[in-house]
Amino acid sequence: MEKNGLLEGRKKFIMHKENEVPITISCDENSLSGAVSQRACVYCGARVVLNPITDAIHLVHGPIGCASYTWDIRGSLSSDSQLYRNSFSTDLREKDIVFGGEKKLASAITEAYAEYHPKVIFVYATCVVGVIGDDIDAVCKNAEKELGIRVLPVKSPGFSGNKRSGYKAGCNAILQLMGETKIVETIPGSINYLGDFNLAAEAWIIKSYLNEMGVKLLTVLTGDSNYESLLQAPRAELNIVQCAGSMTYLAKQMQSAYQIPFDKVRFLGVDETVIALRKIANLLGDTDIIKRTEKLIERKLTEVTEVLKQYRERVQGHKAAIYVGGGFKAIALIKQFNNLGIDTVVIGTQTGDQEEYEMIRSLTKEGTVILDDTNPNELQKFMLEKGADILVGGVKERPLAYKLGLAFIDHNHERKHALSGFEGAINFAKEVDLTVNSPVWDYIN
State which of positions 415-444 bind another protein (CB under 8 A): 444
- The Cα 115–Cα 113 span in angstroms is 5
Is 36 near another protein (CB under 8 A)? Answer: yes
CB of 39 to another protein, least distance (A): 5
To the nearest whole angstrom, how small is the minimum distance from the Cβ of residue 114 to another protein? 9
Least distance (Å) from another protein to the CB of residue 139? Answer: 12
CB of 384 to another protein, least distance (A): 9
Considering only residues 52, 75, 158, 326, which one is a binding residue for another protein as defined by CB under 8 A? Answer: 158
Helices 244-258 + 163-178 axis angle, to 10: 30
Q: How many residues bind another protein (CB under 8 A)?
A: 76
Please select the residue that binds another protein; options are 14, 15, 25, 42, rule is CB under 8 A: 42
Q: Does 184 bind another protein (CB under 8 A)?
A: no
Please tell me whether residue 3 binds another protein under the rule CB under 8 A.
no
Interaction of residue 37 with another protein, rule CB under 8 A: yes
Q: How far is CA 220 from CA 198, 275, 399, in A?
A: 9, 20, 33
Helices 244-258 and 327-339, packing angle to 10 deg = 120
Contacting another protein within 382-421 (CB under 8 A): 395-396, 398-400, 402-405
Nearer to another protein by Cβ, of 207 and 386: the residue is 386
In terms of CB distance, is 61 or 361 closer to another protein?
A: 61
Nearer to another protein (CB atom), residue 123 or residue 260:
123
Task: List the one residue from 68, 310, 362, 438 that touches another protein (CB under 8 A).
Answer: 68
266 binds another protein (CB under 8 A): no
Interaction of residue 211 with another protein, rule CB under 8 A: no
Of 56, 74, 102, 104, the one binding another protein (CB under 8 A) is 104
- The residue within the footprint of another protein, chosen from 15, 17, 43, 199 (CB under 8 A), is 43
| Of the residues 39, 119, 182, 278, which one makes contact with another protein according to CB under 8 A | 39
Contacts to another protein from residues 338-377, by CB under 8 A: 375-377
Q: Which of 51, 76, 78, 162 binds another protein (CB under 8 A)?
A: 162
DSSP readout, 97-117? HHH-SHHHHHHHHHHHHHHH-
Residue 263, strand partner residues = 240
Q: What would the DSSP string read from start to end of 391-438?
A: EEE-TTTHHHHHHTT-EEEE-STT-SS--BHHHHHHHHHHHHHHHHT-
Candidate list 78, 87, 198, 374; residue touching another protein; CB under 8 A: 87
The DSSP symbol for 371 reads E
Which residues have a Cβ under 8 Å from the Cβ of 86 and sit 6 or more positions away? 57, 58, 71, 72
Rg (CA), the chain: 22
Smallest distance from another protein to CB 95, Å: 9
d(CA 445, CA 437): 14
Residue of 54, 90, 246, 253 that binds another protein (CB under 8 A): 90
Are the CB atoms for 194 and 251 separated by under 8 Å?
A: yes
| Residues with Cβ within 8 Å of residue 159, at least 6 apart in sequence | 41, 42, 127, 130
67 belongs to the binding site for another protein (CB under 8 A): yes
Q: What's the sign of the alpha-carbon dihedral 387, 389, 394, 398?
A: positive
Q: Taking a C-beta distance cutoff of 8 angstroms, is the pair 146, 21 a contact?
A: no
CB of 99 to another protein, least distance (A): 12
Q: Per rule CB under 8 A, is residue 261 in the interface with another protein? A: no
DSSP for 168-210, written as a single string:
HHHHHHHHHHH-SS--S---TTEEEEEEE--BTTHHHHHHHHH
Interface positions, 112-141, toward another protein (CB under 8 A): 112, 115, 126-128, 130-132
Q: What backbone torsions phi and psi does residue 180 show, to the nearest 5 degrees?
A: -75, -30
Query: Which are the contacts of 60, defined by CB distance < 8 A and separation ≥ 6?
Result: 43, 66, 67, 70, 87, 88, 89, 90, 124, 126
Residue 40 sits in the site that holds another protein (CB under 8 A): yes
Q: Which stretch binds another protein (CB under 8 A): 67-75, 139-147, 311-319, 358-366?
A: 67-75
- 96 contributes a contact to another protein by CB under 8 A: yes
Cα-Cα-Cα-Cα dihedral of 220, 223, 224, 227, to 10°? 70
Residue 262 CB, nearest approach to another protein (Å): 29
